Structure 1
Amino acid sequence: MKVLLVTQYFSPENFKSNDIAFELAKRGYDIDVLTGIPNYPEGKYYKGFGLFRKRVEKINGVRVYRSFQFSRGQNKQWRLALNYLSFAFFASIWALFLSLFKHYDCVIVHAPSPIIQALPGILVKKIQRIPLYLWVLDLWPEAMQSGGGIQNKRILTTIENIVKFIYTNSTNILISSEEFRIPILKKGNYNEKIEYFPNWSEDLLFMRQDFDIPALPKGFIIMLAGNLGKSQDLDAVLKAAMEMKNSNNIKWVLIGDGSKKSWIDDAIVKKDLQDNVFTLGRFPFEYMPTFFKSADALLITLSGEYPDLKLVVPARLQSYMAAGRPVLAMIDGAGADLIHKANCGYSVKSGDYISLARIIRDKVFSDLETFEKLGLNGRKYFEKHFQKNKCINHLCKIIDSK
């Protein structure tokens, strides 16, 4: 079977699109990838890539076609919009040529933000009259409000109409969270198209765990790893650190980068938290097992300001569960429900740093042995529901059924 994977993000960027392409190739599928010039998350083209470099290449048996796109830059909404629109436009030109000179049996669209990256895939689907499978990881236009702060009704209405067009022209709509079903159905009668297809994680316990990482502070380590952006409600994390500044030698360790990284570095100094909160910067995913095994708890937070974030299960939660470490969370909705269902940690409402501090004092430190066992519960749940091999096998059944 010949498959075209359309995604704005691909290797060397670290996204699930890599797993889809490489795992399907291992299973004997003939895979082409239509993607952009890599620039996430730094906002500039990766070294060795550019307008005249590595536009077509082969990686692990997968053919990769890199469409031009403007780099996303840093913390500028107009630049991010240009990045999104330029990929949709120029990748559609690539899609036209691929449709005319190659034949595919189906199209898979990996769709974190922006969902308009599905448009080149729809062009191929229309020309070749083949199925298109849309994997929805962010809800649009809702994500434009929560992640981008867009409130202009005319823009939101235009994007909503584009989203309806994309859903209508998708053979199947694969949702990464069951809670996505209702808001998608509000946009149209897509019930028969929708199928649950969750995120997964690498099996961290079987990955290398001895990378050379920075020395971690001594104490009870609460670690947050991943994007440090607006949606992560990092202000609440600092408030929790302030609340527990003189309690139990707790050290808050933040790994990653994002639009709020500079802000949090400044806030640590202003609030005199240099002995309590530590930012270590961004590291490759391969380093995460080494970090996680040194953590006493893994922290996950999401802002409660926007309704769509309550429907999301953050991908880092599956990684935390894979590591077998207990979870602490300030999160609403689907993420909190999963933590409760897996019994893998303690969760409070988004932004409720007072309750988080109380739980750490009254539950975690009163019975560390029980808290440690919660991490094992998460590991068992991961093995049953979120192993990569099982999820890719599920995808194979979906695309083979048409």
Structure 2
Amino acid sequence: MKILIVTQYFWPERFKINDLVLGLKERGFEIVVLTGKPNYPQGTFEQGYSFFKKGREQWEGINIYRSPLLPRGKGGGMRLMANYLSFAFFATLKALFIKERFDKIFVYEPSPVTVGIPAVMLGRKLKIPVYFWVQDLWPESVSAAGQIRNKTILNSLNRLTKWIYRNCEKILIQSEGFANYILNQGVPREKLIYYPNSTEAFYREVVPQEHIRAKVPQEGYRIMFAGNIGESQDFETILEAARIAIGRQPDIHFVILGDGRKKEFVEQKVQEFGIGANFHLLGSFPGSDMPDFFACADALLVCLKNNPAFDLTIPSKVQSYLACARPIIGSLNGEGARIIDEAKAGVVAPAGQPELLAEKILTLYAAGAEASQVMGRNAKHYFDQNFERELLLDKLIAILEDKKS
């Protein structure tokens, strides 16, 4: 089977679709990717790329068509919309001139939903089915993140989303919490399939390499966050909880891996709160380094803003954390909180409650190493039963081959 993957984001950008593509290739599928010029999260084109350069390339033996787009810049609302629409426009043009034939089209949508436009147009032209994997609910997710508030624009995006869903064979959802929202957009229940994220095979319990260990505080209780430093991650709550927890237990350290448009805000607040000795912004590292970093942590932190849209999602870092067998501290509601609790893999505070988050941190700190080890084992067991890579590849192949999964 020959599959076209349509995704605005792809290698060298760090998204879960990279590993899924490799997994399908390992299973014998012929994969071609239609994507954009890499510019996430820094907001400018990756070195060696430009609006005109590198329209075609290969990665791991996979052919990649790259569409021009306007880079996202600092991620403001209008600039993001220009980024989204430019990809949709130029990728549609590129798709319609691709001369290859495909059996299926698979769309990866962590935002924007406009990634579905070129897929639907090409699917119509080739008369082949489109499978749409929803990572973010639209238009709810952009409204929740504060990127777009204009009701006219949000209504237009809702109509566009419904049109895309109508023209897809199946709608795959990364969280069961998405179901009611999408059903209310007029999608028949039989089109919906729960298909969660897994994580790359390198996410596992490891003994950390010394050069990674050296980057992390050598003493104290280390709480680690890995991912985007953005609006949705609610660093206001993280920082206030850190201020409280560090004030009561000075050997607690927060280690932040990643980058994003709120990094300057975080740096300013760290200075304002006087917690610089305990709050460490280490920057971005390759995903393959994350298991070594996680192995140096006493607990791993996941945080989302208090918003009904985020209650429905499972942050993709949850699967990576579970796979690495470390206790998890959650500041979130809904599906993400349910999984941490159901797995008995850590502690959870309601989203947007820094005082309660600090209390949970201090509770886990006081529980000791033996309790943390039990939580870590629970985390790995739950991952193996629900999110393991090969298990989910089997499920996706059954979906694409129209078999019962």
TM-score, length basis structure 1: 0.96
Q: Provide the alpha-carbon RMSD of the alignment.
A: 1.6
Q: 1:362 to 1:147 in 2, by over 3 A?
A: closer
1:322 matches 2:323: yes
Give the corresponding residue for 1:175: 173
Supply the AA of the counterpart residue of 2:388: Q
Q: 1:84 to 1:126 in 2, by over 3 A?
A: same
SS at match of 1:110: strand
Give the corresponding residue for 2:140: 142
Give the corresponding residue for 1:40: 40
* Worse overlay, 203-212 or 124-133: 203-212
Supply the AA of the counterpart residue of 2:377: L
Supply the AA of the counterpart residue of 2:204: L
Contact 1:2 1:30 in 2 (8 A): yes
The offset of 1:10, in angstroms, is: 0.9
Match of 1:194 among 192, 195, 198: 192
Q: 1:208 to 1:67 in 2, by over 3 A?
A: farther
* Worse overlay, 318-327 or 277-286: 277-286
The offset of 1:208, in angstroms, is: 8.2
Q: 1:128 to 1:300 in 2, by over 3 A?
A: same
Match of 1:258 among 257, 260, 272: 260
The offset of 1:211, in angstroms, is: 6.5
The offset of 1:241, in angstroms, is: 1.4
SS at match of 1:278: strand
- CA distance in 1 between counterparts of 2:125 and 2:317 reads 37
Q: 1:211 to 1:103 in 2, by over 3 A?
A: farther
Give the corresponding residue for 1:210: 209
Give the corresponding residue for 1:30: 30
Give the corresponding residue for 2:335: 334
- CA distance in 1 between counterparts of 2:155 and 2:76 reads 22
Deviations 1:327-347 (A, max 9, x none): 111110010001111110010
Contact 1:211 1:290 in 2 (8 A): no
* Worse overlay, 268-277 or 291-300: 268-277
Deviations 1:25-84 (A, max 9, x none): 222212111111111111111111223432111222211000111111113322211110
The offset of 1:253, in angstroms, is: 1.1
Identity of aligned residues (%): 39
Give the corresponding residue for 1:119: 117
- CA distance in 2 between counterparts of 1:160 and 1:75 reads 21
- CA distance in 1 between counterparts of 2:393 and 2:147 reads 34
- CA distance in 2 between counterparts of 1:55 and 1:363 reads 50
Give the corresponding residue for 1:381: 382
Supply the AA of the counterpart residue of 1:60: E
Q: Mapping of 1:56-95 within 5 angstroms?
A: 56-95=56-95
Supply the AA of the counterpart residue of 2:40: Y
- CA distance in 2 between counterparts of 1:35 and 1:215 reads 34
- CA distance in 2 between counterparts of 1:87 and 1:363 reads 45
- CA distance in 2 between counterparts of 1:29 and 1:171 reads 19
Gapped runs of 5+ residues in structure 2?
none
The offset of 1:206, in angstroms, is: 6.3
SS at match of 1:230: coil
Give the corresponding residue for 2:54: 54
Q: 1:311 to 1:49 in 2, by over 3 A?
A: same
Give the corresponding residue for 1:96: 96
Supply the AA of the counterpart residue of 1:288: M
Supply the AA of the counterpart residue of 1:268: V
The offset of 1:160, in angstroms, is: 0.2
Contact 1:8 1:117 in 2 (8 A): yes
Give the corresponding residue for 1:268: 270
Give the number of equivalent residue pairs: 399
Q: Mapping of 1:338-349 within 5 angstroms?
A: 338-349=339-350
The offset of 1:351, in angstroms, is: 1.8
Give the corresponding residue for 2:6: 6
Contact 1:125 1:132 in 2 (8 A): yes
Contact 1:211 1:287 in 2 (8 A): no
- CA distance in 2 between counterparts of 1:378 and 1:253 reads 21
Deviations 1:190-234 (A, max 9, x none): 211000000111242267842623532221001111111111111
Give the corresponding residue for 1:284: 286
Contact 1:37 1:66 in 2 (8 A): yes
